[in-house]
Amino acid sequence: MGFEVSARRVLAAALSGIALTTSGALLVLAWQRGMFATLLGLTLCAAWLVLGGCWAASRDLSGRRRSEERDPTTDGPPLAALLDQTPLPLLRLTGGGARALNRASRTLFATDDRLSPTPPALNDPRETRLRHEGRSWRIERVAGSDQSLVLLVDIEAERRAAEVHADNEMIDILGHELLNGLSPIVSLADSAQVAAERGDARLPGILATLTRRIEGLERFTRAYRMLARLPDPVQAPVAMDELVGDLSRLFDQRFEGRVQLSTIVPEGMTGRCDRDQMTQAIWALLHNAAEAALAGAVSPVVTLTVEREEDRLILSVADTGSGVPAPERARIFRPFHTTKPEGSGVGLTLARRIARAHGGDIALLPIAVTTFRMAVPDGAGR
């Protein structure tokens, strides 16, 4: 096709050249013989040929420009083709209306171009959620002067992806910890068998070590089951001073005066939470703090503070231990991660899961005194 077009262009240029040359020769001859009418006609013909050539050239140039704009092979694929490959729905909002920009949005709203009607949530810049066709979408906006670009993110798909990631991470951790626990057991069992065959006096010590390793693996398995089976919280109003009093008595009984517990809680304060789960979370923080304080260089003291900030319940646990080393701060909430010989590495992870199940979180504050701060939404009366 390109060869045929080029041949036509060459032929047209050749014929135009011949016509102009002939017209020029006849013009000279007519001038010499005084044939002024013929001279005028030939002049018009020559002008027509020149102007026609210029018009054809300009038309060909503009046609090539339009072809290049349409041709996806000139500078890569066009924008529309790239947008169609985007798996998330893209919309353009302008003048109160919405237009679908890619295949995902056209499929979602069953339209070829404009949405009719436009969901009200799209036109409200304060809205961050859209419910459409039984699915929930998160609205991400990029606002311009007279229009805005909207990206819709499938919340359910995002949640499933996060769950798969968490499950894979948990499986990796579980496999790692089980292998770490089983390897020395296998080695000790082999040693015990050899010692028994030889009547080695070290057999009782080997068996005792083997028993402890098996018990440690059992504790790990129980801790994993407890972490994996955490039920949804059942929230109700809880008297916080009563809850803290129960924890204080439990703390004194567990540490028998070796660690001083100081509590700060407003009298008569109530919070809305799952009492059993919150008790378990706070106890995990208190137990962790007490062990850290006992390993410190100063008199061991743990401080539990309960307060309310606006609509959040804040529980802080501080200790006088030597602090958390910088490399450990990023791993401290990782399941089964522990620096203690007899630790399970579950307490802080469980406390964070309980806080997040309540819609809050736990953080290790970046201050000199080691302080864990749990913040959860609180709908109880002040």
Same domain, 113 and 22: no
Give yes or no: residues 209 and 246 share one domain: no
Please report the pLDDT score of residue 39 as a whole number: 45
**What is the number of domains present in the chain?**
4
What is the SS3 assignment for 346?
coil
Q: What is the pLDDT of residue 320?
A: 92
Q: Is 122 part of a structural domain of the chain?
A: yes
Q: 263: which 2 tokens?
A: 């509590």
Containing domain of residue 140, as a range?
82-156
What pLDDT does residue 290 have? 93
Q: What is the per-residue pLDDT for 339?
A: 58
Domain end among 93, 122, 156: 156
Last residue of a domain, one of 156, 171, 200: 156
Same domain for 126 and 30: no
Of 125, 156, 187, which residue constitutes the final position of a domain? 156
Per-residue pLDDT at 81 exceeds 90: no
Within this chain, do residues 12 and 131 fall inside the same structural domain, yes or no? Answer: no
Distance (Å, whole) CA 285 – CA 291 = 10
User: Could you tell me if residue 345 is left (phi over 0), alpha (psi between -120 and 50 degrees) or otherwise beta?
Assistant: left
Residue 44 in any domain: the answer is: yes
| One domain for residues 249 and 355 | yes
Residue 40 scores a pLDDT above 90? no
User: What are the tens digits of pLDDT across the range 314-339?
Assistant: 999 999 998 887 777 777 777 665 65
Enumerate the β-bridge partners of residue 301.
260
Residue pLDDT, tens place only, 131-153: 887 888 988 888 877 888 888 88
Same domain, 245 and 335: yes
Q: Kindly state whether residues 244 and 371 are assigned to the same domain.
A: yes
> What's the CATH number where 369 sits?
3.30.565.10
Q: Please tell me the distance from the alpha carbon of residue 119 to that of residue 132, in angstroms, as a whole number.
A: 9
Residue 146 contacts residue 157 (beta carbons within 8 Å): no
List beta partners, residue 361: 375
Q: What is the DSSP letter of 114?
A: B
- Cis peptide preceding 327, ω within 30 of 0: no
- pLDDT tens for 239-261 read 999 999 999 998 988 888 899 99
Helix, strand, coil % (nearest 5) of the chain? 55, 20, 25
Evaluate whether residue 35 is within a structural domain. Answer: yes
Whether the per-residue pLDDT at 75 is higher than 80: the answer is: no
| Cα–Cα dist 29/34, whole Å | 9
Please check whether residue 72 lies inside any domain of the structure: no
pLDDT value of residue 345: 62
DSSP one-letter code for 230: P
Pair (251, 366) in one structural domain: yes
- Residue 283 shares a structural domain with residue 367: yes
Confidence bin at 72 (pLDDT 50/70/90): very low
CATH number of the domain bearing residue 147: 3.30.450.20
Instruction: Decide: 113 and 123 in contact? Cβ < 8 Å.
Output: no
Whether residue 77 lies inside any domain: the answer is no
